[in-house]
Amino acid sequence: MRLRVGLALVLIVAAVAAFQWFRPIPAVAATALLPAADRTPGTAPALPWPARGAGAVGVSGLGFVASSGNEEEIPAASVAKVMTALIILSDHPLVIGAVGPGITVTDADVQAYQSDLAQGQSVARVQSGEVLSELQILQGMLIPSANNFAEIAARWDGGSVDAFVAKMNARATAMKMTHTHFADPAGALPETASTPSDLLLLGIAAMKDAVFASVVAMSQADLPVAGTVYNVDAALGAAGIVGIKTGSGLNTGANFLYAAKLTVDGHQILVFGCVMGQPTLAVAFAAAKSLIAAMTPVLHVRRVVAQNQSIATYTTPWGNATDLVSQSDVDLAEWPGMVVREHLDANSVVVDQPLPAMTREGTFRIVLGDYDLTLPLVTADPLYPPGRFWRLTRVSI
């Protein structure tokens, strides 16, 4: 009898041990170590918006950060040429140092020049048969703000001005410039209208092209027939301003879309702004400088994630643990009061064999303004499967 009981107990123990041994190893979920949202310190400043007209400001990476709040669609004037240049460079990309294909000036181009000149528009002289490089076309439209150069560019790229204007409006729609309409490539028509916030988006996009940025930073350029032409942006070089484009000559006042390079916490960043409807270009330049001065002390660059920083952790029921860490530093320009959104997307792991260090097991997404970054996360240390004792003695897992 005792032998039978003992044998039964042995069989029961063996069955329990076998059951315990062959039960699946439980998946281990990652636990986030950082909050889902983090508000940047400080309070957004009251900016010195111009007394007349409207304005908007932004920061490279962040995008739009503030506006005067009284925007309405008014003629963009020659600021429209920024869209013309952006499309030309998108369709016919250039690299720094290249001049691009040659464009032969036609009789129609000369007639358009003479017509624009007779109307008192901003022009640069051309002659039939003259060959202008793509780079010179860009220089002519962006530096002295020659309307006829924008029209030459439109006919060359689109086949006709109307076809090119359709491209301009399609691009504006794609860029979510919801209060913008283009009627011509030069901004000579009052129907070509926009708002400071929309033009700010345009300026931020255009300055990402190195050739565009290099052209608008030039104080002058030499053209084959027109000779030396000078930048109408008289604020260039002041208050860190490195471009972009003026617009005036229509009865709604002067506009200025600008970019300025600042050193913030040891990092160089671009701040952007647009003022519209100013009494004169001189007033527009002064308004831009005031806005740059007000933004400078409140902008900061903060390291929101450091290389090898622990973002999440795995802790196994048998006492083994490792963190998920970032493989790079992330430094972001910040505007006071904005919220950094953070999201962990990490695998649940089944450690039925050793999981080495530096294994990619998830990502960490950071969103702040226009910043939208996804960082790979790797294990800091190895994870090992459970030992025999834990597997045989676990109770509920």
DSSP 194-229: E-HHHHHHHHHHHTTSHHHHHHHT-SEEEETTTEEE
Residue type, 235: A
Please state which of the ranges 38-47, 114-123, 166-175, 320-329 shows the lowest mean pLDDT: 38-47
How many C-beta neighbours within 10 Å does residue 270 have? 21
| Nearest alpha-carbon partner for 350 in 317, 310, 377, 305 | 317
pLDDT tens for 366-391 read 999 999 999 999 999 999 999 877 87
| Nearest alpha-carbon partner for 239 in 171, 288, 186, 311 | 288
Gap between the Cα atoms of 161 and 185, Å rounded: 7
Residue 59 tokens read as 């920061």
Is residue 204 domain-resident?
yes
Residue 328's domain comprises 20-40+303-393
User: Residue 78: which residues within 8 A CB-CB, separation 6 or more?
Assistant: 122, 145, 147, 186, 187, 245, 246, 247, 248, 249
pLDDT tens for 328-372 read 999 999 999 999 999 999 999 998 899 999 999 999 999 999 999
pLDDT for position 387: 80
pLDDT grade for 18, boundaries at 50, 70 and 90: low
Same domain, 25 and 99: no
Same domain, 308 and 336: yes
DSSP class of residue 298 equals G
pLDDT grade for 16, boundaries at 50, 70 and 90: very low
Is residue 251 domain-resident?
yes
Mean pLDDT of the chain: 93
Same domain, 270 and 338: no
CATH number, position 118: 3.40.710.10
CA geometry: angle 83, 89, 90, nearest 5 deg: 85
Residue 15, pLDDT above cutoff 60: no
pLDDT tens for 299-309 read 999 999 999 99
Is residue 8 domain-resident?
no
pLDDT grade for 12, boundaries at 50, 70 and 90: low
Residue 360 tokens read as 């990619």
Is residue 271 domain-resident?
yes
Is residue 14 domain-resident?
no
Same domain, 240 and 314: no
| Nearest alpha-carbon partner for 109 in 147, 59, 65, 165 | 147
Same domain, 29 and 138: no
Same domain, 268 and 159: yes
**Can you say how many angstroms the Cα of residue 57 is from the centroid of all Cα atoms in its chain?**
14
* Residues 105/126, Cβ–Cβ less than 8 Å: yes
pLDDT tens for 185-228 read 999 999 999 999 999 999 999 999 999 999 999 999 999 999 99
pLDDT for position 121: 95
| Nearest alpha-carbon partner for 301 in 274, 273, 271, 324 | 271
pLDDT for position 44: 87
Residue 352 tokens read as 């039925």
Q: What is the tally of structural domains in the chain?
A: 2
Residue 1, pLDDT above cutoff 70: no
Same domain, 101 and 189: yes
Residue 130 tokens read as 């003259």
Residue 299 tokens read as 């902008």
DSSP lists the bridge partners of residue 329 as none
Q: How long, in residues, is the chain?
A: 397
Is residue 181 domain-resident?
yes
Mean per-residue pLDDT, 70-77: 96
* Euclidean distance between the first and the last CA atom of the chain, given in angstroms as a whole number: 36
Residue 83, pLDDT above cutoff 90: yes
Is residue 113 domain-resident?
yes
pLDDT grade for 26, boundaries at 50, 70 and 90: confident
* Residues 168/111, Cβ–Cβ less than 8 Å: no
Same domain, 191 and 321: no
Gap between the Cα atoms of 251 and 199, Å rounded: 19
Same domain, 215 and 308: no
Residue 220 tokens read as 């002058």
Same domain, 330 and 232: no
Please state the pTM of the whole predicted model: 0.88
pLDDT grade for 249, boundaries at 50, 70 and 90: confident
Same domain, 330 and 229: no
pLDDT for position 251: 87
Same domain, 259 and 375: no
CATH number, position 323: 2.60.410
Task: Check the CA dihedral 119-120-123-127 and report its sign.
Answer: positive
Is residue 211 domain-resident?
yes
- Residue 22 has φ and ψ, to the nearest 5°, of -95, 0
